[in-house]
Amino acid sequence: MEKEIIEKYKKAGEISKQAKIFARSQIKDGTKILDLADKIEKLIREKADGTAFPVNISINDITAHYAPDINDETILKNGDLVKIDIGVQVDGYIADTAFSVCVGEKSHPLIKAAEDAVNKFIQEIRPGKTIEEMSALVEEVVLSHGVNPVRNLAGHSIEQYLVHGNISIPPTKITNKQQIKEGAALGFEVFTTNGEGWVKESSPTLIYMLLYPKPVRLRESRIILEKIVNEYKTFPFAKRWLKDVTSPLRLQLALRELVNSGTIKEYPPLREKSNAITAQAEETVLVFDKPIVTTKI
C-alpha cells in the first residue's frame, strides 16, 4: 500500500475519532437521534470529503442499518443500548468505526465483550493470518464473556469507494484457509447479544445505495438518481437526505421505482431475531506486521 493512500486512511480515521468523541458527548437521556445524526454528519462533511454512509443509530434489539427518518421523533432513554456506526471518506478511502453506549450507565457486559473481541483481533492480526484463525479467535473471546456473537454479521474488507469489500470475517469459526494479505484494509466489527445471535431484516428501509443507473419513468426518480450519481456515488445514502427533493409520498414512490428497477439497493434495519439487545464495536485496521488502527481513540 502506497504511503499516500495510508495517509488518506489515517486522515479519515482522525476525523472519525473526532466524530466519535463528539457523539459520545451527546448521548444522554432525552437526546433526539435525528438531531444527533445530523450533527455528526455535519461535522464529518466539514472536515472530510464526505460520509462513507449515513450515521447509524441503532437502539436495543435494532442491531444495524437504522438511520433516522425524516422528522424522526425517537429519543434516547436511560437504559437504552445504543450503537453508533460512523463512516468517513477522504478521496474514497474509508474509516469505518462503531461504538456502543448504555445510556445512563458507565458500562455493560455486551459492550465489554464486543470491545474485547475487537481488541484481541487487532492484537493478533498480521499478514498471512487466515480467516479461519481469526474467526475462531473472535468467537472464543465473545463466548468467554457468557454472551453470543451475532453470527450473520461480519467484519469486512474495505476498498476505495467501497465500504464492504470481498473479504468477510465472521465472529464465529468457519473453515476458510484464505490468508489476509499485507496492506488489506479491514472494517473489523463484532456484534454481541444476550439473545439467539442472529439478525433478520426489519422495516422501514431508511438507507439505500446505487447499483447501476437505469432509465426510470417518474420525474422525481430521475431527479433523485441524478443527485445520487453526482453527490453520493457508490456510497450508501439516507432517505432523509432527499427530503427537499419532493413530498414524502412522491419520495417514497420514487425510491420504490428505483429499487424495483434495480437502480438502487435497500439496506433495511436489522433486528436481533429473538428481540434481544445487542452491542457493537468496530475499528478500521490496515494489516501490516505492525497493524495501523486508524480509528481507535
| pLDDT tens readout for residues 121-133 | 999 999 999 999 9
- Which candidate, 217, 174, 176, 185, places its Cα nearest to that of 87? 185
Give the active site residues: 85, 96, 156, 164, 189, 282
Q: Is the pLDDT of residue 1 over 90?
A: no
What is the pLDDT, as a whole number, of residue 190? Answer: 98
Same domain, 7 and 128: yes
Same domain, 175 and 289: yes
Same domain, 169 and 224: no
Same domain, 247 and 188: no
Same domain, 172 and 239: no
What is the pLDDT, as a whole number, of residue 63? Answer: 98
Same domain, 15 and 123: yes
Same domain, 241 and 192: no
- What are the cell numbers at 296? 481507535
Q: What is the mean pLDDT of the chain?
A: 97
Q: State the CATH number of the domain containing residue 139.
A: 3.90.230.10
Q: How far apart are CA 260 and CA 248, in angstroms?
A: 18
Same domain, 152 and 219: no
Q: Which domain holds residue 259?
A: 207-266
Same domain, 152 and 287: yes
Q: The whole model's pTM is what? A: 0.96
Q: What is the pLDDT of residues 86-140, one digit of tens each?
A: 999 999 999 999 999 999 999 999 999 999 999 999 999 999 999 999 999 999 9
Same domain, 153 and 262: no
Same domain, 110 and 124: yes
Q: pLDDT band at 35, cuts 50/70/90?
A: very high
Instruction: Provide the number of structural domains found in the chain.
Output: 2
